[in-house]
Amino acid sequence: MEMETETETETETETKSQKPFHVDVGNLLAFNPFHNFPSLPASRDELVKECLQEGTKLVQSVADSLFNLPSTEDVDGPLVKLPTPTTKLPREKHLPKPKPPTKWEEFAKKKGIKNRKKDKVVWDEQTGTWKRRFGYDCANDDKDIPIIEAKMTDEPGVDPFAKRQDDKKKRVEKQEKNRLQNLKQAAKIGALPSHVQLAATSLPITGTQAPPKKVTKDVLGNVAGMAATSTASGGKFDRKLPGEKPAKKKGKHRKFLPVVEGSGIGSQEKEQTENVLNKLISKHSHEILNVGKAVTMYNVKKEKKARNKRNQEGKLSSATNKLKPKKQLHKKTGKKGPGSSKKGKAT
């Protein structure tokens, strides 16, 4: 058997009846493009048998090249380094773009600044011990400075300790801003690191800076439905976007009475007509007039009259005149009572 054991390219084994198979060892794949069924075998079993035979030949050819690769002994068995697969298959995700250099990196490259290896612990002058570089109980922390000597350039009335803290805060904020800018630049070219997400906390400025209120899914759906049906033809002939669901409530909401009606409690139609007639004839007129409210209004009016009489004996009448227009308004609404309630009920 003549065989070429190559690592990168396809191997063609010219073993079986001088017909080459396409073998891709990296994928453990073998393809026989020369076989065909001149006539389909009569029974299923024969077909299966022939398929298995051909399959065996192909698998054998792959195994030939596979077992001849250099192998290392492992605990479970011989370990073999597979060559790269030759059949090209499409990727599942796009190629990752390399990270663009940050502003500091560009500057450092230009100036020739090299990164220096830093120690984990630093000598702290104050306590005379080795403390960590940053974090809890770090060396040269702002909190631990007992005395700050005043300089000639210091303004009186400025707290130097607070000033140091503010300076540090500003530095941290500046660093955060720079980091955000670097990430935005990376996001612009599509090379954002996988664990970072840039989230917009608020919409671009259109008025107040208040963040928009969170709207629920049903409210949005209702609004969308209303917008969709607000065309001249009720949104019937509008082209729908892919994935858009049909409107939930089509047309005007109408409530119909059941076709088969019962009697007694179930006679909704009787009740309906009764209500309408009663409103028209005002049979139960006390339902239209709010008796309690009318009584309190009358009582209040009477009390105020009595009070005014008492006040008039002591005070000028001008004070009471001021109250009069308001009283008249109340009176007006009282008269309008039956009319307004009718408006509400007749639908």
Partner 1 sequence: MMKIKTPRSGRVRRALEKRAPKLVETGKKTLILQGTKTSGTLNEVLSEIYHLKKGGAVRFTRKNDNIRPFESGGETSLEFFSLKTDCSIFVYGSHSKKRPNNLVLGRMYDHHVYDLVEVGVENFKSIESFTYDKKMAPRVGSKPFVAFVGEGFENVDELKHLKEVLLDLLRGEVVENINLAGLDRAYVCTAISSNKVYLTHCALRLKKSGSVVPRMELVEVGPSMDLVVRRHRLPNEGLRKEAMKTAKDQPKKKIKNVSSDAIEGTIGKIYIPDQKVGDVALPNKAKGVKRERREAKKKEANERASKKQKEESE
Binding site for partner 1 (CB under 8 A): 27-37, 40, 44, 47-48, 51-52, 54-56, 58-60, 62-64, 66-68, 71, 74, 76-82, 85, 87-96, 179-180, 183-184, 194-202, 241-244
Q: How far is the CB of 183 from partner 1 (least distance, A)?
A: 6
Q: Which of residues 67 and 123 has its CB atom nearest to partner 1 in the complex?
A: 67
Of 148, 170, 168, 145, the residue nearest 158 (C-alpha): 148
Residue pair 39/13 in contact (Cβ under 8 Å)? The answer is no
Q: How far is the CB of 137 from partner 1 (least distance, A)?
A: 23
Identity of the residue numbered 124: D
* Cα 329 from chain centroid (whole Å): 53
Q: Which of residues 147 and 200 has its CB atom nearest to partner 1 in the complex?
A: 200
Q: Which residues contact 249 (CB under 8 A, 6 or more apart)?
A: 225
267 burial type by CB count under 10 A (0-12 exposed, 13-18 middle, 19+ buried): middle
Name the residue with tokens 């308004």.
Answer: 329
Identity of the residue numbered 291: V
Q: How far is the CB of 84 from partner 1 (least distance, A)?
A: 9
Buried b (16+ CB within 10 A) or exposed e, 157-171: eeeeeeeeeeeeeee
Q: Which of residues 36 and 206 has its CB atom nearest to partner 1 in the complex?
A: 36
Q: How far is the CB of 270 from partner 1 (least distance, A)?
A: 44
Give the C-alpha separation, 12 to 86, whole Å.
Answer: 13
Give the C-alpha separation, 193 to 195, whole Å.
Answer: 6
Q: How far is the CB of 50 from partner 1 (least distance, A)?
A: 8
Q: Which of residues 60 and 275 has its CB atom nearest to partner 1 in the complex?
A: 60
Q: Which of residues 95 and 291 has its CB atom nearest to partner 1 in the complex?
A: 95
Q: How far is the CB of 193 from partner 1 (least distance, A)?
A: 8
Q: Which of residues 176 and 269 has its CB atom nearest to partner 1 in the complex?
A: 176
Q: Which of residues 90 and 128 has its CB atom nearest to partner 1 in the complex?
A: 90
Q: How far is the CB of 66 from partner 1 (least distance, A)?
A: 7
State the number of CA atoms in the 13 A half-sphere of 215 facing the CB.
9
Q: Which residues contact 308 (CB under 8 A, 6 or more apart)?
A: 320, 323
